[in-house]
Amino acid sequence: MLTEEIYRGLGLSSEEYQKILKLLGREPTLTELAMFSVEWSEHCGYPRSRAYLKLLPKKGKFKPLVGEDAGGIILEDLAIVFKMESHNHPSYVEPKQGAATGVGGIIRDIFTTGARPVALLDSLRFGQLANLYNRYLFRGVVDGIQSYGNCVGVPTVGGEVYFDPSYNGNCLVNVMCVGIAPKDKLMRAQAKGEGNLIIYAGASTGRDGIGGCSILASKEFKENEEKRPTVQIGDPFTEKCLIEATLEAVATQGVIGIKDMGAAGLTCASSEMASAGDAGVEIDLDLVPRREEGMSAWEVMMSESQERMLLCVKKEKAKEIIDIYRKWGLNCVIIGKVIKTKEVIVKEKGQIVAKLKAKDLTSAPLYNMAYQEPECLKEINKLDIDSLPLPEDFNQVMLKLLSSENLCSRNWVYEQYDHMVQTNTVLLPGLGSAVLRIKGKNKALALTTDCNSVYCYLDPFVGTQIAVSEACRNLVSVGAEPAGVTDCLNFGNPEKPDRYWYFKNCIEGLISACKFFNIPVVSGNVSFYNESPQAVIKPTPTIGMVGIIKDLKFIRTPFFKKEGDLIVLLGETLPELGGSEYLKEIHNQVRGKPPALDLNKELSLQKAVLTAIEKGLISSCVDCSEGGISLALFEGCVTGKEIKGAFIDNLEFNLREDFLLFSESTARAIISLSKNNLSEIEKIAKKYGVPLRVIGRVIKEPKLVILKNNFALIDLDLEKAFRLWRKSLESLITA
Amino acid sequence: MRWGVAVFPGSNCDQDCFYVVRDILGEQVRYVWYEETDLRDLDCLILPGGFSYGDYLRAGAIARFSPVMEALVDFAEKGGLVIGICNGFQILLEAGLLPGAMLRNKNIHFICKYVYLRVENTHTPFTNLFKEGQVVRIPIAHNEGNYYIEDEGLLELKNDKQILFRYSDKEGRLTPEFNPNGAKDFIAGIISKEGNVLGMMPHPERASEKILNSQDGLLVFKSIVNWFKRC
């Protein structure tokens, strides 16, 4: 007899339990109940977000691929497969293993499609570093990413790190992986063809991670809850062997479908493969390789042990495929077969312990959630910028900003990641977007992740549109055409109407912006319940974007190249300080409205920049975002092999000085170019209606000088500032 | 000339080395699975970087017991050329084919970045196209690259001109600030007494194409081809 205590303990509500009774026409077995609980959890079944996810655009300029585990775009004969996923809750419980297994899980989602994983990016968020526990989390997460990513041989080429008090009690670890496959060799996560075999490959099954992702990610943390045993332990060495063996297995053409056993393990893999193939599977748990004795059936079905794959293979190819996995030193055994009835049948010691319709498991309930704008938001949106005191010393303001935790260099992080293995990394980390050449083609991929959660907190719809716009702008700045999006939507408890209001508005912003830019959302992930008694996170819809560089000669970098080159500002600066880093760091306020976004202006800017790049007119390009014009100029000066200076004597001071220098207005970029190219650029800017102003020139001396009426507002020694910028993160962690 | 690239479970720079030899150099190359025992068809064998056996226990400590390593000892004794890069270098140290050992980097973190190297001896199969004292840019990527050898051994390395690469600044000066991992005497790469086995922590295969920001590493591979032609 199953008690309320049992199903509630598994995270099911009494309505859900009643629904299960109705579907089955009987009481479920314990194993069946466990299977429902994980498949219907927010992590696997998306009952609270699916209604909106359906509305995400699936069309774009490049032909999209939308698959079971990861989607992508088609580039000539190749499929570029990518996906981002969260591992927030496990990382908060155990930062190193939580982050490491996040990396492992997303890599498996990519190579199960038959694609070789070629790049990783990490979008990370923590509470402020002044708090020692946040330092522990930050160090642990970076350590987990480096230990797993470096060993597995997939370069970690980019990402972002932000600190904000709303992540106290809930850090975010969003990991994106990109892979490349010949488009005719793509695999699906399916099981079909009666008599075909179900093969288990990889690490053995233990009690680690039972209910890990699915349960951990489906409720909020309470004080003093003991969660450690549910976090899985990663083994990147096994994963590396699993990648090579799986790609070899796919090449035999004997594989019908593959799915990794990640969240919800064998339950999820077997039922979703059967459901996708419109077939059934029968598996015998006695054949499953184990690392612990005495595991009961439900534990085997729920285990989230890492580095395991489930394959459906043609009977006649089974031996060949098993031999491949064994050559790589991995477990590989036949544990079942495809059956005609569309059921998942699980046997143990000759007894049936579960017999369910695959579709019942994969049709999680769908909930209409209540939503309501938070009452305090109107008040938070108020900001009178004219009442802000004008700083006296702009050099000091600059130094404070470029040593702040959100704007200082991330080299302490990315130098711990192997970002060059596979020898495709053309632009090294720290230069905006990552750029990877595609071997055998005169083309490259540009990759970025973006989200300003302060903007999303102040206005979720516009904030998310800005995240998409900024991702596009980052890709365009290196010479790429934006091609596809993966998203990772991180929010608080969706059962609370104000949290759900944020979710709804963010996703509506995402849908509208992607439709406007004609970019498909090919894959993604939702992470709710990111709140604790300490805080609820600011809404964080992280955008992962992939762009295509059509010719290797179009690749551009942000840094100034040549003394005498002109420095040009494209776009218009408005007095927009709401949610800015300047407002936060210098005036200690997080309020106002995010900068206004005119999607048409944004698109015009991007078109103008890309046209100029493709015509070979631009030496460097950096977009203006956090920190405004001043930080963009700083990046232009210091991110090259040697520091260049900038002499800015022609800014139009139609705004107060601090507004002009630190406003985070959208649709702007700073480019540098040879004098000879100015008239051509002016024509392009005019054609697209983009305001253009030559604001200064590149100089040899390592100084950033910004003049107003012949008075030096900023006169910065860049060698000192550069050292400060590079050392700040490490100092903040060790202080 | 025929090249081989060893593949241990957990190697992850094998395909990168293979690509440089076949696609950039245009040489004949094959993969050598760690269980192979016959290397007689090869002139040069690369032990690539990565995390053989996950670097569990200690970097290179398990891989050295692979069947291919026995064959490699024989291959090297007969004068075959061997390059161990990064994890390959660590394996050669564990196998005793090169003297010394690796400690963790002095900052106890993995370090991946471009560094400057000064070329110390150009009269070898691996460096004959470099200029003596030339400063080159090649990236490192490792956790345990802090080379250690006792003073007596170091003296021997120096006397026999076995040190090929040292970490330096852009001008070739040896300063602690530019010794990324704390290696003894700034050592980044050494050869065996007989001169046919090279171990180096930096990754020449990552600096062999213009688009990857440096072609300095290609000179290592080209030197080998050049040396082989002259013999």
Closest residue on chain A to B52 (Cα): A237
Average pLDDT, chain B: 96
Contact criterion met (CB < 8 Å) for A237 and B9: yes
In percent, how much of chain A has pLDDT > 70?
A: 96
Average pLDDT, chain A: 93
Contact criterion met (CB < 8 Å) for B112 and A328: no
Contact criterion met (CB < 8 Å) for A417 and B50: no
Higher-pLDDT residue of A282, A43: A282
Domain count, chain A: 1
A445: closest CA of chain B, how far (Å): 14
H or E segment and range at residue A527: strand A521-527
In this structure, what token pair is assigned to residue A676? Answer: 């000879």
Chain segment A660-700, per-residue pLDDT in tens:
999 999 999 999 999 999 999 999 999 999 999 999 999 99
In percent, how much of chain A has pLDDT > 90?
A: 84
Distance CA A683, CA A608 (A): 10
User: Is pLDDT above 50 for A659?
Assistant: yes
In chain A the first and final C-alpha atoms are separated, in Å, by 57
Q: At what angle do helices A497-517 and A460-477 cross, to 10 degrees?
A: 40
Domain count, chain B: 1
B56/A contact by beta carbon, under 8 A: yes
Q: Which amino acid is at B111?
A: I
Domain CATH number, residue B207: 3.40.50.880
A416/B contact by beta carbon, under 8 A: yes
User: Is pLDDT above 70 for A215?
Assistant: no
**Residue A224: what pLDDT?**
46
Q: What value does the mean pLDDT take over residues A366-393?
A: 95
Judge whether B112 counts as a catalytic residue: no
**Residue A11: what pLDDT?**
82
**Residue A68: what pLDDT?**
66
Residue B16: list chain A partners with CB under 8 A.
421-423
A281 falls in which pLDDT band (50, 70, 90)? very high
Distance CA B43, CA B225 (A): 10
**Residue A279 falls within a domain, yes or no?**
no
CA A601 to chain centre: 26
Judge whether B205 counts as a catalytic residue: yes
Burial (0-12, 13-18, 19+ Cβ within 10 Å), A389: exposed
CA angle (A310 as vertex; A306, A315 as ends), nearest 5:
155
pTM of the full predicted structure? 0.95
A223 falls in which pLDDT band (50, 70, 90)? very low
**Residue A226: what pLDDT?**
46
A447 has which bridge partners? A434, A546
A227 falls in which pLDDT band (50, 70, 90)? very low
A296 falls in which pLDDT band (50, 70, 90)? confident
**Residue A469 falls within a domain, yes or no?**
no
Least confident range of A8-22, A106-120, A225-239, B192-206: A225-239
CA angle (A646 as vertex; A641, A648 as ends), nearest 5:
160
**Residue A1: what pLDDT?**
57
Contact criterion met (CB < 8 Å) for A419 and B54: no
B65/A contact by beta carbon, under 8 A: no
Residue B221: list chain A partners with CB under 8 A.
none
User: Is pLDDT above 80 for A424?
Assistant: yes
Domain around A641: 557-735
Judge whether A43 counts as a catalytic residue: yes
Contact criterion met (CB < 8 Å) for B12 and A237: no
Residue A146: list chain B partners with CB under 8 A.
109-110
Length of chain B in residues, anyone?
231
Contact criterion met (CB < 8 Å) for B10 and A240: yes
Quickly tell me which residue has 């944004």 as its tokens.
A602
H or E segment and range at residue B190: strand B187-191
Q: Contact, A547 vs A606, CB < 8 A? A: no
Q: Contact, A122 vs A174, CB < 8 A? A: yes
Domain CATH number, residue A627: 3.90.650.10
Among A223, A198, A399, residue whose Cα is nearest residue A308: A198
Closest residue on chain A to B110 (Cα): A416
Contact criterion met (CB < 8 Å) for B141 and A153: no
Domain around B21: 2-230
**Residue B120: what pLDDT?**
97
Chain segment A529-580, per-residue pLDDT in tens:
999 988 999 999 999 999 999 999 999 999 999 999 999 999 999 999 999 9
A153: closest CA of chain B, how far (Å): 5
User: Is pLDDT above 50 for A647?
Assistant: yes
**Residue A230: what pLDDT?**
62
Chain segment A23-59, per-residue pLDDT in tens:
999 999 888 888 898 888 887 888 999 999 999 999 9
**Residue A693 falls within a domain, yes or no?**
yes
Q: What value does the mean pLDDT take over residues A54-77?
A: 88
Q: Contact, A133 vs A89, CB < 8 A? A: no
Distance CA A503, CA A471 (A): 20
In this structure, what token pair is assigned to residue A325? Answer: 């996995």
Q: Contact, A185 vs A249, CB < 8 A? A: no
